[in-house]
Amino acid sequence: MDLSRILEFPVKEYIKQPRSLLGAGAYENAGPEAAAMGLKHVLFVTSGLRGTGIIDECRTNFENAGVSVTIYDKVETNPKDYNVMDAYKAYTEAECDGFISIGGGSSHDTTKGARIVAAHDGRNTNEFQGLNTSEKLENPPHIAINTTVGTGSETTPAYVITDTTTDKAPHKWVAFDRAATTTLAINDPVLCMTQPPEYVAYTGFDTLAHASECYVGRVQHLSTTPQALSAVRMVSENLREATYNPKNYKAMEGMVWAQYIAAQAFSSGLLGILHSLSHAVCAYYDIHHGLNNGIGIARVWTYNQPAAVEKYADIATAMGEDRTGMNPVQAADAAIDAVIRLAKDCGIPENFGQVSEYPKTRMGQGFYEGKSSGAIQSDDDELQKMAEHMMADLCTPGNPRDLTVDAAKEILRDCMYDPMVRKTTNGYRQNIWGTAPAMGRAAAGG
């Protein structure tokens, strides 16, 4: 019997997790761990961390363990295909035998791509998008040292790369590949204390996106959904304090655990259209992935609520909302109100048009022809392209509610121009009893 006709995810897979070290001082074990693996010369893959002291400390740690180091530190936000290929080139030219990624998701994802390229004799990274596309599962060892509270990439088989060179560009694609799982993941809250407050907030919303999308999604993997809800609770309890008082070790440790648990959850429970939206916006505008999630999260929760009312009611409880006297619909509304309050408390802009300069910003410097820096303004044609990008994203099938191009355009338009408020009788959320209000505004601006 073809169960796919009645069940969307009839067989659920639990994804193998890498060995991990978590806690204060964990990163000091990286050099000795590399030596124990038999590594002699490793490539550090990182972004803007040179000069913070982290790279120098790590290099000394490895050299003291007898492991030589070469550094590739040109990784960009939303890593590009050429970042992957340049890292692979640096690895081969230095005759390295292992990779060490240091930073957040951009550094880890670049390294995952470079490892797979190395295993396939230098083939272009854009050939490996999709699900388990690797032909060779053995590739160089990879230790991922995390410095943010939002990536999760240090422990998942997923990585995301922006195609800037093929006829599909600009296109931010997702790979979910068992060959991409790291050899060792290291999470040290002390390293995360070096982040600018903006990055704590942005990466924290990536964690909340991972956790909430896994919890409400179609897969409903019973080994991971409880983890996802726990991560929602931990973000709600710790993100404000970690953002504004990053030296608070307890709050930062809570966020480190939240991001790690959420990533373990979505490795098996998958994601949804909030990540599809963020990937599309990243491709066209090169905005920080976590910032995109922070702007889009309330809009996506609002869109999805009719398909997962009880789940969003659970999220309200996890976020500390008092549900006394509320029915599930009212509680789900309270979850949306709570996430809007959290976003505003942490400095997330109302919409993409209000995104301003932030560390390492490339706002408005995407690859779409004719795009220039400055305030983001999308016309209908560009909204259509991003909506189609969302429809083709690997994350979309896991969403609890089916997506259409028109609905994707309306969510994107709201993210571009509207204030961050919960939609009720107007907007794009279908009424819970089945009546659908008219969708869309006549023009992109209002």
CATH of domain 19-192: 3.40.50.1970
What whole-number distance in Å separates Cα of residue 261 and Cα of residue 274? 19
Strands 158-163 and 171-176: antiparallel
- Angle 408-414-416 from CA coordinates, rounded to 5°: 100
Residues 6+ apart with CB under 8 A from 13: 268
CATH 3.40.50.1970 domain span(s) along the chain:
19-192
Q: What whole-number distance in Å separates Cα of residue 273 and Cα of residue 291?
A: 15
Distance of CA 148 to the CA centre of its chain: 11
Type and span of the H or E element at 142: strand 142-146
| Residue partners of 89: CB distance under 8 A and separation at least 6 | none
| Domain 270-417, CATH among 3.40.50.10540, 3.40.50.2000, 1.20.1090.10, 3.40.50.2020 | 1.20.1090.10
Six-digit token string for 20: 């991990």
Going residue by residue through the chain (446 aa), what tens digit of pLDDT does each one get? 576 666 788 889 999 999 999 999 999 999 999 999 999 999 999 997 866 799 999 999 999 999 999 999 999 999 999 999 999 999 999 999 999 999 999 999 999 999 999 999 999 999 999 999 999 999 999 999 999 999 899 999 999 999 999 999 999 999 999 999 999 999 999 999 988 999 999 999 999 999 999 999 999 999 999 999 999 999 999 999 999 999 999 999 999 999 999 999 999 999 999 999 999 999 988 999 999 999 999 999 999 999 999 999 999 999 999 999 999 999 999 999 999 999 999 999 999 989 887 777 766 565 544 454 556 778 899 999 999 999 999 999 999 999 999 999 999 999 999 999 987 644 455 433 333 333 333 233 32
Domain with CATH 1.20.1090.10 in the chain: 270-417
Give 169's contacts (C-beta < 8 A, 6+ positions apart). 163, 367
